[in-house]
Amino acid sequence: MTTMTSTEPTRRSSSTTNADAIESSAPSTQAIPLGDRPVRVAILGCGQIADAHLGQLQRIRFAEVVGVCDSYEDLAYQAGVRFNVPQFTDLDNMLQVAQPDVVHIATPAHTHAPLAIKLLHAGCHVYVEKPFTLDVAEADRVIEVAANTGRRICIGHDQLFDPMWLRARQLVQSGAIGEARHVESILGYPIDGKFGALVKGDPNHWVRKLPGGLFQNTISHPLYRITDLLPDAEPVLLGNWLRRGGLDFPTELHIALEGEQVAGSLTFSTHLPPQRITRIYGTRGHLAIDFDGQVIRRAARPRMPGAFAKLEMPWRGFWDSCGNLGRNMWRFACGDIHYFAGMKNLFEAFYRSLQQGTEPPIPVAEIRRVTGLMDRIFEHCRSQDSQETT
């Protein structure tokens, strides 16, 4: 099965940001490596995404789930009973009784920063589901506390560790498509889906109250798939958000990001069926990464001239499809196709970094950069919105 090994390179951070300054200036305390013992993990918040965390944690041999906690006793109960782990409704009690090394924060976004700060002060390492915080100011506070307490933080940018993305990165680094120049990221998110319907039906839903509304809770994934290849700290932004279908809050987002070497475009649409697709365009071809289909389609520029190229292209597409089919058949036979495979890989990489006392898989500067970019996108859209209104 595909796993992240300790030699797997961490996500590089190619921009110098305030987070670096925070890390270097703060009187940081060095975290003590956990060593080879199993990592004790607790989950805070037992909603939908907690199921994915618990499911993937069951697959990690060197992790032990020591507790789940939710202020709703029924939610804590269902998670505790199904995954056979102790359940709590009070965070302090869980910390005292379960003594976790790492706590995963899987609560609504507006609670992330205060909970992360509390947990860091309590001596826990913290894994925060996306989005990291409500804005970069909150992110800075969390990063500072982590530096002061010598505890590690990790963000749930798990699709960067999905087998498809890891392979796409390898292909890009091997020069399969030349130099990467543009990344196009699409997220289809039907508003009548399981979670979207809740947001749509409740004017007071917590998602609607986020600074970036529905997008703040959802665009992290397509955005970090762009920023992973777009190193600029502050790319130029174009685009806007839109309201459709008679809804009183924005549901469509189209943003272009212009960096110095690489550009990107992000499309979030509630009118598209669920899909997670990213295309990387290079100087010699492109890759289409379909996370749901677990395939990468490669397209290179034709080598044959004129009409012969029209035969060459489908022929190469045919062999590319055969390769994808063969790989997925092998993975299926090995029991290696899992929707949240990237999450497991990221957990493992984070826990190994804690055991060995090495840098976490996603640098703090990268967490801050993506959070800051989201702030800028929402600010940009708000200003466009107000211009159109006036």
Partner 1 sequence: MNTIQRVCLTGATGFLGRRLVQRLLTDPQLQVRCLVRPTSDVDTLLEPLSPEQRARVEVVRGELHDAGYLRQGLAESDVVYHVAAALGGNTSTLFLNTVVPTRRLMAAASAVNVGRFVLISSLGVYGTRELRRWQQVDEQAALDPRAEQRDPYTFSKVRQELVARELSAELKLPLVIVRPGVIYGEGRSLLTSRVGLQVGPLLVRMGGSHPLPYTYVENCAEGVKLAGLVPGVDGETFNLVDDDPVTGHQLVRYLRRQGQKIRSVWIPGMCIQPLSWIYATYSRWSQGQLPPVITPYRSAAIWKPLRYSNAQAKHKLNWVQPISTEQALERTIAG
Specify the residue, 81 or 311, whose C-beta has the smaller distance to partner 1: 81
DSSP 111: G
Query: Least Å distance between CB 204 and partner 1?
Result: 7
Of 240, 262, 263, 234, which is closest to residue 253 (Cα–Cα)? 240
Of 230, 236, 226, 231, which is closest to residue 277 (Cα–Cα)? 226
Which position among 3, 18, 58, 328 is part of the footprint of partner 1 (CB under 8 A)? 58
Specify the residue, 50 or 280, whose C-beta has the smaller distance to partner 1: 50
Query: Least Å distance between CB 1 and partner 1?
Result: 8
Which position among 6, 16, 25, 48 is part of the footprint of partner 1 (CB under 8 A)? 48
Alpha-carbon torsion angle 160, 164, 167, 168, nearest 10:
-80
Of 186, 304, 312, which is closest to residue 254 (Cα–Cα)? 186
Which position among 30, 174, 204, 386 is part of the footprint of partner 1 (CB under 8 A)? 204
Return d(Cα 161, Cα 361) in angstroms, integer.
10
Which position among 2, 20, 38, 51 is part of the footprint of partner 1 (CB under 8 A)? 51
Query: Least Å distance between CB 72 and partner 1?
Result: 6
Q: Does the protein bind partner 1 through residue 194 (CB under 8 A)?
A: yes
Q: Does the protein bind partner 1 through residue 311 (CB under 8 A)?
A: no
* Span of 12-20, 174-182, 219-227, 334-342 interacting with partner 1 by CB under 8 A: 334-342
Q: Does the protein bind partner 1 through residue 155 (CB under 8 A)?
A: no
Q: Does the protein bind partner 1 through residue 260 (CB under 8 A)?
A: no
Q: Does the protein bind partner 1 through residue 64 (CB under 8 A)?
A: no
DSSP 248: S
Q: Does the protein bind partner 1 through residue 50 (CB under 8 A)?
A: yes
Run of H or E including 345: helix 341-356
Which position among 38, 55, 239, 293 is part of the footprint of partner 1 (CB under 8 A)? 55
Q: Does the protein bind partner 1 through residue 68 (CB under 8 A)?
A: no
Q: How many CA atoms lie within 13 A of 75 on its CB side?
A: 18
Q: Which two tokens stand for residue 206?
A: 């917590």
Collapsing DSSP to helix, strand or coil, 326 comes out as: helix
Which position among 123, 201, 245, 274 is part of the footprint of partner 1 (CB under 8 A)? 201
Return d(Cα 346, Cα 84) in angstroms, integer.
23
Q: Does the protein bind partner 1 through residue 112 (CB under 8 A)?
A: no
Collapsing DSSP to helix, strand or coil, 125 comes out as: strand
Q: Does the protein bind partner 1 through residue 337 (CB under 8 A)?
A: yes
Q: What's the Rg (C-alpha) of the chain? A: 21
Which position among 44, 46, 116, 134 is part of the footprint of partner 1 (CB under 8 A)? 46
Return d(Cα 65, Cα 102) in angstroms, integer.
10
Assign residue 129 a region: left if phi > 0, alpha if psi is -120 to 50, beta otherwise?
A: beta
Q: Does the protein bind partner 1 through residue 336 (CB under 8 A)?
A: yes
Contact residues for partner 1, defined by CB under 8 A: 46-48, 50-51, 55, 58-59, 72, 74-75, 77-79, 81-82, 194, 200-204, 332, 335-338
